[in-house]
């Protein structure tokens, strides 16, 4: 079946540090890929997405590129802020199914 | 963007009682809604897919008689946890997919409902 593997956390960074959270997937076919963010006590918010190979999703300084050859969708941000502290989930889904398969989540803590 | 609401946001109940959680798409119609369960510090697990006007499709291992799902309209799906027990305590999150997605497969997530069974 489909699966998503995320870099294990937790990740602790200082403010303005560079962030990378690795994500790889296994799927039959070509899914759309997503990054979601979850702040404490809240639901998920879509951070960015990419629907086909070589697409780059970006939002709020975060970026991720859909790499078909390495089946990856790594999340990056050049300079993190304390407000970026949250849990980040990588996910995939197919248009005709809609339901998503999630990675285990990576907790990011940014210290001042 | 599209908004999905859940009610209640938190509920505490006694063991053996039933609890109903509502999921509403506020500014779009959703033929399909999904119910997820999230344990502390863990990922989301899909419980069931809810289709408007038809029976829900449950994932393997999810008791359909315990987790009753009704998708009565294009903007409302409900999850009823029947005869709740402490092990049912969890964070329940719904998501909704737009009626005319135009090929998009983006889900819009609700804020979640924290269920605590005493």
Q: What is the pLDDT of residues B44-88, one digit of tens each?
A: 899 999 988 888 999 999 999 999 999 888 899 999 999 999 999
Q: What is the mean pLDDT of residues A73-90?
A: 96
- The token pair that represents B113 in the structure block: 């409902």
Query: Looking at A59-63, B31-35, B52-56, B104-108, which range is the least confident one?
Result: B104-108
Q: B107, B27, B115: which is closest to B79 by C-alpha?
A: B115
Distance CA A14, CA B28 (A): 40
Check residue B86 and give its pLDDT: 95
Decide if pLDDT at A45 tops 60. yes
Q: Cα separation of B23 and B49, whole Å?
A: 13
| d(C-alpha B13, C-alpha B35), whole Å | 20
Question: Chain A partners of B10 at a C-beta cutoff of 8 Å?
Answer: none
- Which tokens go with B32? 């399909």
β A106-111/A11-14 pair status:
parallel
Question: What is the C-alpha separation between B104 and A17, in angstroms, rounded?
Answer: 34
Residues of A within 8 A of B44 (CB-CB) are 44, 89, 100, 102
First to last CA, chain B: 37
Share of chain B above pLDDT 70, in %: 92
**Does pLDDT of B104 surpass 60?**
no
Residue of A107, A110, A30, A40 lying closest to A73 (CA atoms): A30
Residue A8 pLDDT level (bands cut at 50, 70, 90): confident
Q: How much is the pLDDT for A42?
A: 81
Instruction: Find tokens 């999150």 and name the residue.
Output: B93
Distance from CA of A36 to the nearest CA of B (A): 10
- Nearest Cβ partner of A98 from B41, B44, B97? B97
pLDDT category at A97 given cuts 50, 70, 90 is low
- pLDDT confidence of residue B53: 82
Q: A98, B109: Cβ pair inside 8 Å? A: no
CA-closest candidate to residue A60, choices A31, A36, A87, A91: A36
Is residue B103 very low, low, confident or very high in pLDDT (cuts 50, 70, 90)? Answer: low
CB contact under 8 A, A100 and B111: no
> Which range, of A43-52, A70-79, A82-91, A94-103, averages the lowest pLDDT?
A94-103
Give residue ranges of A with CB < 8 Å to any B CB: 32, 34, 36, 41-46, 49, 51, 89, 93-95, 97-105, 107
CB pairs under 8 A between A and B: 57
Quick one: average pLDDT of A86-103? 85
Q: Inter-chain contact B107–A93, Cβ cutoff 8 Å?
A: yes
Considering CB atoms only, which of A41, A51, A98 is closest to B107? A98
- In terms of Cβ atoms closer than 10 Å to its own Cβ (0-12, 13-18, 19+), residue B10 is exposed
CB contact under 8 A, B112 and A43: yes
- Cα A47 to Cα A88: distance, rounded to the nearest angstrom: 9
What band does A41 get if pLDDT is binned at 50, 70 and 90?
A: confident
pLDDT at B100: 58
Facing residue for A102 by CB, picked from B44, B108, B112 = B44
């Amino acid at each position: 079946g489909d699966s998503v593997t995320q870099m294990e956390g937790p990740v602790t960074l200082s403010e303005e540090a560079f962030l990378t959270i690795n994500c790889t997937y296994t799927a039959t076919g070509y899914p759309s890929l997503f990054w979601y963010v979850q702040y404490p006590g809240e639901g998920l918010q879509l951070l960015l997405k990419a629907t086909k190979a070589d697409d780059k999703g970006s939002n709020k300084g975060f970026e991720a590129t859909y790499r078909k050859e390495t089946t990856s969708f790594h999340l990056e941000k050049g300079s993190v802020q304390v407000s970026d502290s949250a849990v980040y989930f990588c996910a995939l889904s197919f248009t005709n199914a809609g339901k998503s398969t999630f990675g285990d989540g990576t907790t990011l803590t940014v210290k001042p | 963007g599209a908004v999905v609401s859940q009610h209640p946001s938190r509920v505490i109940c006694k063991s053996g009682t039933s609890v109903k959680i509502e999921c509403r798409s506020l500014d779009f119609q959703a033929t399909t809604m999904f119910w997820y369960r999230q344990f502390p510090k863990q990922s989301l697990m899909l419980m069931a897919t809810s289709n408007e006007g038809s029976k829900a499709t449950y994932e393997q291992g999810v008791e359909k008689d315990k987790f009753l799902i009704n998708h009565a309209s294009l903007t409302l799906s409900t999850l009823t946890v029947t005869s709740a027990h402490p092990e049912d305590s969890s964070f329940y999150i719904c998501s909704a997919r737009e009626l005319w997605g135009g090929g998009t497969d983006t889900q819009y997530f609700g804020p979640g409902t924290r269920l605590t069974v005493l």
